[in-house]
Amino acid sequence: MSENVLDLSVHELRRKLLQGQVTAADMVDAALKRIEALDGAIGAFITVDAEGARVAAEKVDRMVTEAVRSGDEKALPPLAGIPVALKDNICTRGLRTTASSRILESFVPPYSATVVEKLQSAGAIVVGKTNLDEFAMGSTTESSAFHTTRNPWDLERVPGGSSGGSAAAVAAGMASAAVGTDTGGSVRLPSAFCGTVGLKPTYARVSRYGVISYGSSLDCVGPIAGNVLDCAIMLGVMAGLDPRDATSSPEPVPDYVESARSGLDGLQGVRIGVPAEFFAPGIASGVRETVERTLHRLEEAGAELVDVSLPHVEYSVAVYYLVATAEASSNLARYDGVRYGLRAEGKDDVGSTIAASRTEGFGQEVQRRILLGSHALSAGNYAAYFDKAMRVRTLIRRDIEAALEKCDCFVSPTSSTTAFKIGEVRDPLAMYLQDIYTIVANLAGVPAISVPCGLHQGLPVGFQVFGPMFGEPTLFRVAAAVEQASAGEMRRPKLEVM
Amino acid sequence: MGYTVDDAKLLADRAKLRFSREQLEKATQELNDMIRYVDQLAHVDTEGVPPMSHPHSFANVWRDDEPKEGLSAEDALANAPDRHGQFFRVPRIIAGEEEG
């Protein structure tokens, strides 16, 4: 498997494409071959679009021929021919989109998400749709209604979630990059577990149009890639104002690639906050050592470490599970079996049909969250639960703003452990606590990136960097320095067994 | 002051979910566990703290009122579980006379 052309990065593939050493068709073939060889064991994909990908590759190859012939290489879009995988809660016109739920098992969207249109306009080729926890509600990809995705580093372990299929696809070289969504850590946690680079952008940085809603004030669409530079290239394509998403931001999109490159020249003048609460007891010892070693190396690269505090962060999981479930219970009210999605048979009135469709169509975790959300929003409980959670959310955001007055970014482990075994965490509350290091970014709206910083007992450890609103350039700079400092310890997963 | 199975049933009914008795007992327990956990927020002093419903404060995002092509009726109906011509068809909404 070592000759896989997709072991090359997105930026290297572009160079080879322009030099005529590789074609878009080669890249797509490599992705499809890899999927055929490995995905039976990994289960990253729900739908593979081999035919669509091949047709798109032919079109890109004609563009490449034209660009090379005319000497106008700049005219070739930045992701020309790059095979990408999309989380299956992102709508693709004409290609089934399920959110890993029975209720959408046969849903074929009549339109594409803005982020899909942007990626395709940039030359990216969609090879398939990846597995997730049903409606992105989970931290392991085990709650998919279809199958469990396995971690390419160890098939007995979870890939993290909810964008587990996207991270596993990139880690196993089945796609050069992928798109995930992150409501409470769903891009970053699987990136940490699978050894990929995953970014939750600033809220509103990337359009949510065409992305199946979970918690609308928390949901972000983010890139997952094999390295920091590729992640920066992806965000540059995905970001920007979208007239079809009234919450998308008009903030100009800077050159993220340049920011990522600047991280290789040291971190002089960068103040990195170390929140006491994120380095408290409870982190697995191997994870702590790996993250602290990385911090030390960033200091050697010129960064200044600053102690900061986030006193309300201990409440973040409680706030999140009220806000996210309340928003989910509203968003999921649309699944009624009337206009699309599963409709239960055999009921002779509309009310019973709706209830039966939802009960058959939603899995356990989704139903659990709808109930909790309905609790938080119900008349007698609104003030004590939802309103209270929104006020504590303000306090968490203020903590983050206060911390960022003392530093340019702050850091944490992405997760307290490396990837755990499939079936190991059964209790819902214990599962929710997996997101303790990631949730604050969604509550506050700030960006955060997870970048691999080494291995512990053969499994990747994620290093997380948080920044201010629209502070992605700082995140890419610091993440590139982390990647450089950890290069000696990182490698690809060994997959030759398959 | 937790949920009883009957309270949970009422909540489920409102959310248009139907549980068996056994499922309802499990859901009640899980709901009570979660509520006990989130109840820790009661101890946080939020006097004078405004609620945060959204990370941004964009208000009144307008666009020009120009007609644009939307989804065609065929596209909108393509995923319908049941249709009648250009309409979504649903089971009976109002009980018929024969049911009294």
Q: Which two tokens stand for residue A246?
A: 């009234």
Write down the mean pLDDT value for chain A.
Answer: 96
Of A9, A87, A191, A200, the catalytic one is A87
Look up residue A344 and give its DSSP letter: -
Say whether A203 and B55 touch across the interface (CB within 8 A). yes
Say whether A107 and B79 touch across the interface (CB within 8 A). yes
Helix axes A228-238, A472-486, angle to 10 degrees: 160
Nearest to A418 by CA among A331, A493, A348, A316: A493
Report pLDDT digits (tens) over A385-437. Answer: 999 999 999 999 999 999 999 999 999 999 999 999 999 998 888 888 888 99
Nearest to A101 by CA among A467, A415, A290, A358: A358
CA dist A281 and B17 (Å) reads: 40
Number of domain units in chain B: 1
pLDDT at A19 over 50: yes
Give residue B56's pLDDT.
Answer: 87
Give residue B49's pLDDT.
Answer: 98
Task: Examine residue B48 and state whether it is found in any structural domain, yes or no.
Answer: no
Task: Examine residue B18 and state whether it is found in any structural domain, yes or no.
Answer: yes
Q: How far is B57 from chain A (nearest CA, A)?
A: 9
Say whether B34 and A348 touch across the interface (CB within 8 A). no
Q: What are phi and psi of A356, to 5 degrees?
A: -70, -35
Sign, CA torsion A321/A324/A329/A330: positive
Residue of chain B with shortest Cα separation from A317: B38
Question: At which residue do the structure tokens 């939750």 appear?
Answer: A200
Report pLDDT digits (tens) over A76-128. Answer: 999 999 999 999 999 999 999 999 999 999 999 999 999 999 999 999 999 99
Give residue A496's pLDDT.
Answer: 57
What is the model's pTM?
A: 0.97
Kindly compute the dihedral angle of the four CA atoms of residues A174, A237, A187, A30, in this order, to the nearest 10 degrees: 0
Three-state SS string over A199-260 comes to: EECCCCCECCCCECCCCCCCCEEEEEECCHHHHHHHHHHHECCCCCCCCCCCCCCCCHHHHH
Q: How far is A356 from chain B (nearest CA, A)?
A: 7
Say whether A318 and B40 touch across the interface (CB within 8 A). yes
Q: Are strands A45-48 and A83-87 parallel, antiparallel or unpaired?
A: unpaired
SS3 A425: coil
Say whether B51 and A397 touch across the interface (CB within 8 A). no
Q: Which domain holds residue B29?
A: 5-43
CB atoms within 10 A of CB A340: 23
Candidates A371, A395, A396, A442: best to mutate against B (most CBs of B within 10 A) is A371
Determine contact, residues A475/A447, Cβ cutoff 8 Å.
yes
Task: Examine residue B86 and state whether it is found in any structural domain, yes or no.
Answer: no
Sign, CA torsion A101/A107/A108/A110: negative
Task: Examine residue B37 and state whether it is found in any structural domain, yes or no.
Answer: yes
Say whether A337 and B81 touch across the interface (CB within 8 A). yes
Choice among A210-214, A288-292, A343-347, B92-96 with the minimum mean pLDDT: B92-96
Report pLDDT digits (tens) over A137-174. Answer: 999 999 999 999 999 999 999 999 999 999 999 999 99
Nearest to A493 by CA among A171, A191, A156: A171
Give residue A13's pLDDT.
Answer: 96
Confidence label for B96 from pLDDT (cuts 50, 70 and 90): low
Confidence label for A336 from pLDDT (cuts 50, 70 and 90): very high
Residue of chain A with shortest Cα separation from B33: A429
Q: Is A87 a catalytic residue?
A: yes
Say whether A394 and B49 touch across the interface (CB within 8 A). yes
Candidates A207, A391, A400, A443: best to mutate against B (most CBs of B within 10 A) is A391
CA dist B32 and A154 (Å) reads: 36
Determine contact, residues A224/A178, Cβ cutoff 8 Å.
yes
Q: What are phi and psi of A109, to 5 degrees?
A: -60, 140
Task: Examine residue B89 and state whether it is found in any structural domain, yes or no.
Answer: no
Task: Examine residue B22 and state whether it is found in any structural domain, yes or no.
Answer: yes
Of A101, A143, A163, A186, the catalytic one is A186
ipTM of the complex: 0.93
In chain A, where the domains are located: 5-277+284-309+403-486, 314-387
Give residue A497's pLDDT.
Answer: 45
CA dist A419 and A140 (Å) reads: 9
Pick from A350, A374, A429: CB nearest B15: A374
Question: What percentage of residues in chain A have a pLDDT greater than 70?
Answer: 99
pLDDT at A31 over 90: yes
Q: Which two tokens stand for residue A16?
A: 């080879």
Question: At which residue do the structure tokens 């948080």 appear?
Answer: A466
Report pLDDT digits (tens) over B16-70. Answer: 999 999 999 999 999 999 999 999 999 999 999 999 999 987 778 888 899 989 8
Report pLDDT digits (tens) over A445-485. Answer: 999 999 999 999 999 999 999 999 999 999 999 999 999 99
Task: Examine residue B92 and state whether it is found in any structural domain, yes or no.
Answer: no
Give residue A498's pLDDT.
Answer: 45
Pick the CATH number of A5-277+284-309+403-486 from 3.30.70.270, 3.40.630.10, 3.40.50.360, 3.90.1300.10: 3.90.1300.10
**Neighboring chain A residues of B71 at a CB cutoff of 8 Å:** 110-111
CA dist A97 and A106 (Å) reads: 8
DSSP string, A130-168: E--SGGG--SSSTT-SS----BTTBTTB---SSSHHHHH
pLDDT at B72 over 60: yes
Task: Examine residue B12 and state whether it is found in any structural domain, yes or no.
Answer: yes
**Neighboring chain A residues of B18 at a CB cutoff of 8 Å:** 355-356, 359
